[in-house]
């Protein structure tokens, strides 16, 4: 497992400080840097690589118990798992599912005989390895995946707020409609050749326009909160009408 799943251990040094208190030092292979950001924002191939490392650890009898972004290091597209201070013995893990052979799969059946380890299943779900045919808009609105919406990784980068009118109590269905319209607008712009970095910059204006149009349709006055008020700016024409 050393040098493949966890960094190599070169030795243990033991000594005493000036005040004679004992000090122990692990000398480990230097391997890259800790992951930045959340697991769920990684692309599917990186998620698969990391999860397969965890599977190897399980097959080596190791239950990590503190598996988190801060305990994964990356170098040149490869990964190692670190910090085994909470690890416990994990005899005979029955997981045989190979994540790298299932990149892009939407789901796996609960009774699939290759996924019989609750800990690995939980980590894969937390990492959002399978999307289960849905996307999350604005973090909490769940809708079926379809061609009019961007991929989840793009959705995360174009995150916005919905329900920005200060005098309106939006029903959850209205918030979902606004979120879908906003992301459909973004997808239409991407399909027309807009650059993602430009759309990231335009998020507040597009959010404003999507709300403004919805309020006009519903004949409900629209008074956005200050940070979202783009009424003084040149109107930005929406592609999706």
- By the criterion CB under 5 A, which residues form the site for Zn ion? 58, 93, 117
| Closest CB 74 distance from Zn ion, rounded Å | 23
| Closest CB 61 distance from Zn ion, rounded Å | 10
The gap from C-alpha 217 to its chain's centroid, in whole angstroms, comes to 34
Which residues does 47 contact at the CB level (< 8 Å), separation at least 6? 39, 99, 127, 128, 129
Instruction: Return the number of the residue (6 or 117) whose C-beta is nearest Zn ion.
Output: 117
Instruction: Return the number of the residue (117 or 127) whose C-beta is nearest Zn ion.
Output: 117
Q: Which residues of 194-229 are buried (b: 16+ CB within 10 A; e: fewer)?
A: eeeeebeebbbebbbbbbbbbbeeeeeebebeeebe
| Closest CB 93 distance from Zn ion, rounded Å | 3
CA-closest candidate to residue 81, choices 69, 93, 95? 69
| Closest CB 40 distance from Zn ion, rounded Å | 21
Instruction: Return the number of the residue (92 or 198) whose C-beta is nearest Zn ion.
Output: 92
Strands 33-34 and 72-75: antiparallel
Instruction: Return the number of the residue (29 or 66) whose C-beta is nearest Zn ion.
Output: 66
CA-closest candidate to residue 100, choices 43, 38, 152, 146? 43
């Amino acid at each position: 497992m050393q040098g493949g799943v966890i960094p190599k251990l070169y030795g243990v040094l033991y000594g005493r400080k000036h005040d004679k208190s004992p000090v122990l030092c692990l000398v480990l292979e230097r391997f890259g840097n800790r992951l930045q950001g959340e697991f769920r924002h990684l692309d599917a191939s990186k998620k698969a690589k990391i999860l397969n490392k965890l599977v190897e650890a399980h097959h080596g009898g190791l239950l990590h118990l503190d598996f988190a972004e801060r305990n994964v290091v990356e170098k040149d597209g490869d990964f190692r798992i670190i910090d085994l201070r909470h690890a416990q013995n994990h005899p005979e893990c029955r997981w045989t599912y190979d994540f790298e052979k299932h990149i892009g799969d939407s789901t796996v059946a609960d009774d699939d005989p290759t996924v019989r380890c609750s800990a690995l299943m939980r980590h894969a779900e937390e990492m959002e390895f399978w999307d289960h045919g849905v996307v999350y808009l604005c973090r909490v609105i769940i809708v079926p995946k379809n061609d009019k919406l961007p991929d989840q990784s793009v959705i995360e980068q174009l995150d916005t707020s919905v329900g920005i009118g200060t005098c309106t109590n939006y029903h959850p269905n209205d918030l979902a409609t606004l979120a879908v319209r906003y992301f459909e607008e973004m997808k239409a712009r991407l399909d027309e050749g807009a650059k993602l970095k430009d759309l990231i910059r335009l998020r507040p204006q597009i959010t404003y326009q999507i709300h403004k149009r919805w309020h006009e349709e519903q004949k409900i006055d629209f008074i956005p909160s200050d940070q979202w008020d783009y009424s003084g700016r040149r109107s930005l024409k929406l592609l999706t009408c």
